[in-house]
């Protein structure tokens, strides 16, 4: 990572965009889905990190395991914590355009707290808990390379490299409550997913094997946010992707067609009795 223009031929990454400054930065390596489920690093060792400061090159040592962020104190730790809170809070406070109804997936006004990059983009919607009420989401799933099933990432029939649905608390530090990756999401015979975002007390179990349940988490948290992520859409699929809707500024529901996540609030009893269709009728009535 370099302070000025980056030479991508040398695998350089610019630390701060031109004309901007920041007291604290983050260097993140992401492993979305390792082929080996027992290896969070994807079966390879973590990279070695060195820092050049004042003409000296220093090797940065990994944190002791398990990592306890509360063990770091002092001015530097406080500055890092304040910088992190500022980044995340800024993203959360301006995430959704004013007046956007809950359960309507839109392009966030800001997703910096999610640490986006050029390869993945998000749609999101805010949610509020009410006892006995759940959120049901339905949409067509893009084809993806299930590498754990032996599908190569270079398979030309796949539409995205990866996709997932995640639910976060919309309070600092905005933690992820739960995610379902593409390979963890159940589909029906037509390739559609149905998610039920619910507290266990409201939806103890679901008999339908095509439904994927995401836990609501702490029901005392006033706001939640649900995100759909697309990573690296193919050129053929790009016109119906989240990326295309953000590039053009068009309504994502129009751009994505059947791939747009249609979400509704629904009583748990209605969902158990009639599934997504009954919830859609309840919302319309």
More confident residue, 26 or 161: 161
Q: Are 110 and 91 in contact (CB under 8 A)?
A: yes
Q: From 206, 185, 198, 196, select the one nearest 140 (Cα to Cα).
A: 185
pLDDT higher than threshold 70 for residue 86: no
More confident residue, 56 or 158: 158
Average pLDDT of the chain to the nearest whole number: 85
Q: Give the C-alpha separation, 197 to 215, whole Å.
A: 6
Looking at residue 173, its pLDDT comes to 64
CA distances from 208 to 83, 140, 182, 194 (A): 44, 17, 18, 10
More confident residue, 188 or 43: 188
Within 13 A of 271's CA, how many CA atoms are on the CB side? 29
Query: What does the pLDDT look like over 257-281, one tens digit per residue?
Result: 999 999 999 999 999 999 999 999 9
Mean pLDDT of 224-253: 94
Collapsing DSSP to helix, strand or coil, 269 comes out as: helix
| In the block, residue with structure tokens 């050049």 | 52
Six-digit token string for 140 = 């067509």
Which regions of 111-241 does DSSP assign to beta strands (E)? 120-127, 133-140, 160-169, 176-181, 192-198, 211-215, 224-233
Looking at residue 44, its pLDDT comes to 86
pLDDT band at 78 (very low <50, low <70, confident <90, very high): low
On whether the pTM is more than 0.85, the answer is no
Mean pLDDT of 177-181: 94
Mean pLDDT of 168-179: 81
CA distances from 138 to 97, 126, 212, 277, 280 (A): 23, 16, 10, 10, 10
Looking at residue 15, its pLDDT comes to 77
| DSSP category for residue 106 | B
Q: From 105, 179, 191, 188, select the one nearest 143 (Cα to Cα).
A: 191
Looking at residue 109, its pLDDT comes to 73
Out of 78-92, 99-113, 179-193, the most confident range is 179-193
Query: What does the pLDDT look like over 119-143, one tens digit per residue?
Result: 889 999 999 999 999 999 999 999 9
pLDDT higher than threshold 70 for residue 85: no
Looking at residue 95, its pLDDT comes to 60
Looking at residue 111, its pLDDT comes to 61
Six-digit token string for 136 = 């049901």
Mean pLDDT of 19-24: 68
pLDDT higher than threshold 80 for residue 65: no
Q: From 282, 279, 121, 115, select the one nearest 197 (Cα to Cα).
A: 279
- Specify the range with the lowest mean pLDDT, choosing from 63-67, 164-168, 252-256: 63-67
């Amino acid at each position: 990572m370099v302070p000025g223009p980056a030479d991508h031929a040398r695998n350089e990454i610019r630390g701060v965009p031109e004309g901007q400054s920041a007291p604290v930065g983050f260097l993140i390596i992401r492993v979305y889905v390792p082929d080996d489920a027992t290896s969070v690093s994807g079966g390879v060792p973590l990279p070695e990190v060195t820092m050049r400061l004042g003409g000296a090159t220093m090797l940065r040592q990994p944190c002791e395991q398990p990592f306890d962020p509360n063990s770091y104190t002092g001015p530097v730790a406080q500055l890092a914590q304040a910088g992190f809170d500022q980044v995340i809070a800024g993203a959360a406070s301006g995430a959704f355009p004013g007046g956007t109804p809950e359960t309507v997936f839109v392009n966030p006004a800001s997703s910096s707290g999610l640490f986006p990059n050029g390869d993945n983009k998000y749609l999101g919607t805010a949610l509020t808990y009410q006892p006995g009420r759940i959120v049901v989401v339905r949409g067509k799933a893009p084809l993806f390379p299930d590498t754990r099933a032996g599908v190569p990432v270079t398979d030309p029939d796949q539409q995205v490299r990866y996709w997932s649905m995640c639910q976060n608390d919309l309070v600092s530090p905005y933690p992820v409550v739960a995610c379902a990756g593409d390979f963890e999401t159940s589909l029906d015979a037509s390739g559609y997913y149905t998610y039920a975002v619910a507290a266990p007390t409201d939806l103890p179990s679901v008999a339908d094997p095509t439904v994927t349940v995401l836990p609501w988490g702490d029901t005392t948290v006033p706001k939640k946010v649900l995100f759909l992520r697309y990573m690296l859409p193919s050129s053929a699929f790009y016109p119906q992707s989240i990326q295309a809707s953000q590039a053009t500024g068009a309504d994502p529901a129009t751009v994505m067609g059947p791939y747009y996540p249609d979400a509704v609030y629904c009583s748990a009893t209605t969902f158990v009795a009639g599934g997504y269709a009954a919830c859609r009728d309840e919302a319309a009535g």
